[in-house]
Amino acid sequence: KERADGTRNPLQTLPLTEKIQAEKFDAVFGGGRRDEEKARAKERVFSLRDEFSQWDPRRQRPELWNLYNGRHAPGEHVRVFPLSNWT
């Protein structure tokens, strides 16, 4: 069941963030699609997350003609949603 803040499982967030930081992952793959829910509509295929695993829509890079920029600063990572545009 989804909570009022839009989080379905808040218990996943902290362990996922801790694992990403511990293993120093550059990218993490997800299976979300933009048409599934309103909150994902702003999500990009390559979604930049800061060192606290937070997502800021203003910091997202343009994705023109299926060209993606996976560069990130130390401590940051990219969440990759390859099914994002698939409907």
What distance separates the 2 farthest-apart alpha carbons in the chain?
A: 36
Q: What is the mean pLDDT of residues 20-43?
A: 85
- For residues 33 and 82, the answer to whether their CB atoms sit within 8 Å is no
Mean confidence (pLDDT) of the chain: 83
- For residues 43 and 30, the answer to whether their CB atoms sit within 8 Å is no
The pLDDT value given to residue 10: 65
pLDDT tens across 37-62, in order?
777 777 888 999 998 888 888 888 88
Least confident of 2-16, 32-46, 62-76: 2-16
Q: d(Cα 3, Cα 10) in Å, to the nearest integer?
A: 9
The pLDDT value given to residue 51: 87
